[in-house]
C-alpha cells in the first residue's frame, strides 16, 4: 500500500473476508487532526451543515451544538427507509471498506473511535442487514449507509461471520462492545458518501477483468476446436487499429496460441492460386473464419477497454473523500459542496453493464456454433459422444445460455439517465449509480453462468478430439475444469455442475491458475 491507497484486488479480498484492513500512521494522524478541527469549530459555534444545522431543505434551521447526538441520531432514523432483499455479505463489507477509505483521508471529521469500530467489525466479520433498494446516490448512498450507522449504535440486525441475523444489541453484548453514540459529524460523515456504489463497483471491476481473461482462454480453445486461422490473432493487425484493449487481446491470443498444433498455422506468404485454364474453381475452404473467432480481438478488446475504464473510475472514487461538508484543518476551512454526487460511477457502471451483456452474447454465440453439427466441423451434436438422440448432451444447457442472454438484454436500460427530482427539489438531479452498480453485479453473476456452460461444452469437445494438439493454455483450462466437473457421457442433470463451475470461475483464488496464464503474457 502507498499512502493509504488500496488496490481493487485488496478491496475484493477484504470484501471476501480474506484480508484485513491496515491503517497507515499518516491516516491515523489525519483522522485525529480533522476530528480536533471539527470539535474546535463546534466549540466556536460555527455554522456547519448537518452539524449545527438541519438537513437538506431543512438546513435553514440552526441547531444548538448541545443537541449534536440527537441531531445525528435523527439523521440516521429518518434515512433508515431501505426496502428489498439485503445486500450480499461481500457487498456490505465492500461498502464498509469504501466508507473507511474515505473517512481515513482526514477531511470528514469522524471520531477516531468510529473508525476503530468499523475496522473491528471488518476484523470479526460483523455485517449489518442493509436493504438493497432505496438510494438515489445523489447525496451519496444515504439509505444503505444509514442502516450501517444504525447497526453501529446497537439497533437493527447484523450477521456475525455469515451466521443468521441477530439483533445488533445482542451481537454487541456477545462481543463485549458498547454501541456507539454518534455525535459531532459522525452520522453525516458515515451516510453522506458514495460508498455503497463504490464498494460494489470495486468488486465488479475485478470480477469483470477476470471474466474477460477467462473469455480469452475460452476463445482460444473454441478456435482450436474449429481449426481456426491463427492469422486473425496477429499483433500487427492490432497495431493498425491501436485501441488498447484490441492490442492487448492480440498479444494474449497470439502468445497463448504459439504452441498450438490445432489452429490453422499462419503462413508469412500467401499461397498462390493454381492454374485455372477453364471454369472458376469453387467450393474451396474459406480462407478466414466466422466473426466469433476472427473478430475476437476486436470484440473482446472493446470489452476490455470498457472494463479498464470502469476500473479506473472505481480506483479514483476509492481514493476520494465523498461526504459534505469537507474539512481542511491546515487551512481552517469548511467547504460545502457535492462530492457525494455519484455520476461518474453511475455512467461507468452502465457502460460496464453493456459490455458484460455483450461478453455473455459472444459466449452464447460460441456455444451455439460449437454444438451445431452443421457448423462444428465434425463434432457430435451438442457434444453428446454416445447414442446421440437417445442422449441429448448439452442441448438443455445451450438453451439455458440463450435464456440468460435474453434476460441480460432485458436489463440493459441505463439507470444513470433515469433522474427523478426528490427531497423537495433539493436533490433536483440524481445519478442512480447504486442501481447501476447492482445491475452490473447481477449481470456478472449471469455472465459467469454462461461462461461455465461454455467451459463445460468446450472441454467436452476437446476430449472428443484426443489427437488434437492443443495449446498448453487450453490444456491447463481442460485440466482445471475436469478437477471440478466430470465428463458428460450419458445425460444427467447439469444444474449443479453449472452452478459449481460458475462459482469457481468467479472466485479469485480458485481461478488464479487460469488468470495467471494471461498475467504471464502481459
Average confidence (pLDDT) per 10 residues, the chain, 522 residues: 73 95 93 96 91 88 89 93 97 97 96 96 98 93 97 97 97 97 94 96 98 98 96 96 97 97 88 67 73 96 98 96 95 94 96 98 97 91 86 93 97 93 89 96 98 98 89 97 95 96 98 92 61
pLDDT for res 268? 85
* E strand map for 14-153: 83-86, 126-128, 131-133
CA atoms within 13 A on the CB side of 437: 35
Q: Look at residues 90, 117, 99, 91 and name the one whose alpha carbon lies nearest to residue 188.
A: 99
Sign of CA dihedral 256, 262, 267, 270: negative
Cβ within 8 Å of residue 319, ≥6 positions away? 5, 101
Cβ atoms of residues 104 and 153 within 8 Å: no
Report the pLDDT value the prediction gives residue 280, as an integer from 0 to 100: 61
- The three-class DSSP label of residue 160 is strand
pLDDT, position 271: 73
* Beta carbons of 177 and 166 less than 8 angstroms apart: no
H/E stretch holding 453 reads helix 433-463
Q: Where are the alpha helices (DSSP H) in 176-194?
A: 186-191
Residue that the C-alpha cell 484490441 belongs to: 246
Query: Which are the catalytic amino acids?
Result: 49
Q: Is 403 helix (H, G, I), strand (E, B) or coil?
A: helix
What number of helices (H) and strands (E) belong to the chain? Answer: 19, 7
Sign of CA dihedral 142, 419, 447, 254: negative
151 with 159: CB under 8 angstroms? no
- In the β-sheet with 166-167, what is the strand arrangement from edge to edge? 126-128, 157-160, 166-167
**pLDDT value at position 38?**
95
The span from the CA of 233 to the CA of 29, in Å, is 52
| Strand-pair partners of 391 | 388
Amino acid at each position: 500500500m502507498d499512502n493509504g491507497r488500496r488496490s481493487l484486488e485488496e478491496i475484493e479480498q477484504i470484501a471476501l473476508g480474506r484480508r484485513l484492513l491496515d491503517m497507515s500512521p499518516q491516516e491515523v494522524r489525519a483522522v485525529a487532526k480533522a476530528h480536533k478541527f471539527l470539535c474546535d469549530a463546534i466549540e466556536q459555534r460555527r455554522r456547519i451543515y448537518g452539524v449545527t444545522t438541519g438537513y437538506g431543505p431543512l438546513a435553514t434551521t440552526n441547531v444548538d451544538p448541545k443537541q449534536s447526538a440527537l441531531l445525528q441520531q435523527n439523521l440516521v432514523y429518518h434515512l433508515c427507509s431501505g426496502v428489498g432483499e439485503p445486500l450480499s455479505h461481500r457487498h456490505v463489507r465492500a461498502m464498509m471498506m469504501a466508507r473507511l477509505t474515505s473517512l481515513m483521508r482526514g477531511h470528514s471529521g469522524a471520531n477516531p473511535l468510529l473508525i476503530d469500530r468499523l475496522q473491528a467489525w471488518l476484523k470479526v466479520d460483523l455485517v449489518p442487514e442493509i436493504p438493497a433498494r432505496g438510494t438515489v446516490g445523489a447525496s451519496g448512498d444515504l439509505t444503505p449507509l444509514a442502516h450501517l450507522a444504525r447497526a453501529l449504535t446497537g439497533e437493527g440486525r447484523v450477521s456475525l461471520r455469515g451466521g443468521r441475523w441477530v439483533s445488533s444489541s445482542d451481537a454487541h453484548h456477545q462481543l463485549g462492545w458498547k454501541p456507539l453514540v454518534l455525535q459531532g459529524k459522525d452520522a453525516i460523515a458515515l451516510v453522506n458518501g458514495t460508498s455503497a456504489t463504490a464498494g460494489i463497483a470495486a468488486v465488479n471491476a475485478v470480477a469483470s477483468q477476470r471474466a474477460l481473461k477467462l473469455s480469452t482462454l475460452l476463445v482460444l480453445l473454441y478456435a482450436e476446436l474449429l481449426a481456426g486461422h491463427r492469422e486473425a490473432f496477429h499483433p500487427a493487425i492490432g497495431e493498425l487499429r491501436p485501441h488498447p484493449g484490441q492490442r492487448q487481446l492480440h498479444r494474449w491470443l497470439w502468445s497463448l496460441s504459439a504452441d498450438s498444433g490445432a489452429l490453422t498455422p499462419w503462413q508469412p506468404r500467401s499461397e498462390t492460386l493454381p492454374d485455372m485454364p477453364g471454369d472458376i474453381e469453387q467450393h474451396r475452404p474459406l480462407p478466414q473464419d466466422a466473426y466469433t473467432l476472427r473478430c475476437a480481438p476486436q470484440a473482446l478488446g472493446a470489452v476490455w477497454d470498457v472494463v479498464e475504464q470502469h476500473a479506473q473510475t472505481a480506483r479514483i472514487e476509492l481514493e476520494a473523500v465523498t461526504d459534505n461538508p469537507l474539512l481542511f484543518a491546515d487551512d481552517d476551512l469548511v467547504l460545502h459542496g457535492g462530492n457525494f454526487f455519484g455520476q461518474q460511477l453511475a455512467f461507468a457502471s452502465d457502460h460496464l453493464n453493456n459490455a458484460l451483456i455483450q461478453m455473455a452474447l459472444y459466449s452464447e454465440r460460441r456455444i451455439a456454433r460449437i454444438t451445431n453439427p452443421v457448423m462444428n466441423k465434425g463434432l457430435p451434436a451438442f457434444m453428446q459422444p454416445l447414442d446421440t438422440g437417445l442422449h441429448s448432451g448439452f442441448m438443455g444447457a445451450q438453451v439455458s445460455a440463450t435464456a440468460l442472454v435474453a434476460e441480460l438484454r432485458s436489463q440493459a436500460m441505463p439507470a444513470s439517465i433515469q433522474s427523478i427530482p426528490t427531497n423537495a427539489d433539493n436533490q433536483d438531479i440524481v445519478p442512480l449509480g447504486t442501481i447501476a452498480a447492482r445491475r452490473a453485479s447481477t449481470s456478472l453473476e449471469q455472465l459467469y453462468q454462461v461462461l461455465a456452460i461454455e467451459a463445460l461444452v468446450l472441454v467436452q469437445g476437446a476430449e472428443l478430439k484426443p489427437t488434437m494438439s492443443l495449446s498448453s493454455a487450453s490444456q491447463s483450462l481442460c485440466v482445471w475444469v475436469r478437477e471440478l466437473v466430470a465428463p458428460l457421457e450419458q445425460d444427467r442433470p447439469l444444474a449443479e455442475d453449472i452452478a459449481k463451475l460458475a462459482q469457481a470461475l468467479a472466485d479469485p483464488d480458485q481461478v488464479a491458475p487460469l488468470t495467471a496464464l494471461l498475467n504471464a503474457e502481459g
